Amino acid sequence: MTTDTVFIESDVTGDDACSLEFYETDELGGQIDNWYGPSLNCLLAMCRSAGFARVTLEYSSGARAGVTCHRRWEPLLDEPFAPAPWINCAVNNRTQDIYFHRNKDEYVCLYFKSPQPSRTKHHAPHRDRWLWCPHC
């Protein structure tokens, strides 16, 4: 566990897809404590999904990769470099309506317009500042 930064080194598979191989016994290097091997894309995705705000690939060489993960975003600039996006709508991600149920684990989907072209989920920090909606 960390409250700031961690460096993760892992065995990675050669697959370009986001996949995870499971090793039941000693299939990975003869060691019984290595249970899975992620692809590089899977390793990065797992770090982001674990709640790290910034994930930086430091190196990838053969079957090894090193990643630095930070719990916090970089400090905000005093002067924003672009206008803020315009939020058109906020809806329930599951039902696409404006109602949310307190007994369910539901997410907000924001539809917005941005003066910046080609915005994707990789450009917007989704945990603290923006939510990403794949339909936007």
- Which tops the pLDDT comparison, 114 or 123? 114
Cα(125)–Cα(48) distance, rounded to whole angstroms? 10
Question: How many CB atoms neighbour CB 46 within 10 A?
Answer: 19
Residue 124's alpha-carbon distances to 16, 85, 105, in angstroms, are: 23, 11, 23
Percent of the chain surpassing pLDDT 90: 30
The pLDDT of residue 43 is 95
Helix residue ranges, H only, the chain:
40-49
- Out of 26-35, 53-62, 67-76, 101-110, which region has the weakest mean confidence (pLDDT)? 26-35
pLDDT digit string, tens, across residues 22-53: 888 888 778 788 788 899 999 999 999 998 99
* Residue tagged 């920090």 (tokens): 125
Would you give the distance in Å from CA 33 to the centre of its chain?
26
pLDDT digit string, tens, across residues 79-93: 767 777 889 999 998
pTM equals 0.62
